[in-house]
A and B are shown apart, each in its own frame.
Chain A
Amino acid sequence: NAGVTQTPKFRVLKTGQSMTLLCAQDMNHEYMYWYRQDPGMGLRLIHYSVGEGTTAKGEVPDGYNVSRLKKQNFLLGLESAAPSQTSVYFCASSYPVGQPHHEQYFGPGTRLTVT
Chain B
Amino acid sequence: AQSVAQPEDQVNVAEGNPLTVKCTYSVSGNPYLFWYVQYPNRGLQFLLKYITGDNLVKGSYGFEAEFNKSQTSFHLKKPSALVSDSALYFCAVRDKNFGNEKLTFGTGTRLTIIP
Q: Do A and B come from one complex?
A: yes
Give chain A's interface residues, CB within 8 Å of chain B.
Answer: 4, 31, 33, 40-45, 48, 50, 56, 58, 90, 92, 96-98, 102-109
Q: What would 5 more interface pairs be, CB under 8 Å, given A40-B9, A43-B44?
A: A4-B43, A58-B102, A104-B44, A104-B103, A109-B42
Within B29-55, the residues touching A (CB, 8 Å) are 32, 34, 36, 41-46, 49
Question: Is B105 on the interface with A (CB-CB < 8 A)?
Answer: yes
Q: Can you list 22 A-B pairs with a CB-CB distance of less than 8 A?
A: A4-B43, A33-B103, A40-B107, A42-B107, A43-B44, A43-B90, A45-B103, A50-B101, A90-B43, A90-B44, A92-B44, A97-B94, A97-B98, A97-B100, A98-B98, A103-B46, A105-B46, A106-B45, A108-B42, A108-B43, A109-B41, A109-B43
Contacts of B101 in A (CB 8 A): 31, 48, 50, 56, 96-97
> How many residues in B have their beta carbons less than 8 Å from beta carbons of A?
22
Question: How distant is the Cα of A92 from the Cα of B46 in the complex, in angstroms?
Answer: 11
Q: Which of A50, A105, A106 has the largest number of chain B CB atoms within 10 A?
A: A106
> How many cross-chain pairs have Cβ atoms below 8 Å apart between A and B?
50
Contacts of A4 in B (CB 8 A): 43
CB distance from B23 to the nearest CB of A (A): 12
7 tightest A-B contacts by CB?
A: A106-B43, A42-B107, A106-B44, A43-B105, A42-B105, A103-B46, A108-B43
Question: How distant is the Cα of A104 from the Cα of B9 in the complex, in angstroms?
Answer: 23
Contacts of A105 in B (CB 8 A): 46
Contacts of B90 in A (CB 8 A): 42-43
Are the CB atoms of B102 and A42 closer together than 8 Å?
no
CB distance from B29 to the nearest CB of A (A): 12
8 Å CB contact of A107 from B9, B43, B108: B43
Contacts of B107 in A (CB 8 A): 40-42
Instruction: Given A31-B101, A103-B49, answer yes or no on A42-B106 (Cβ-Cβ < 8 Å).
Output: yes
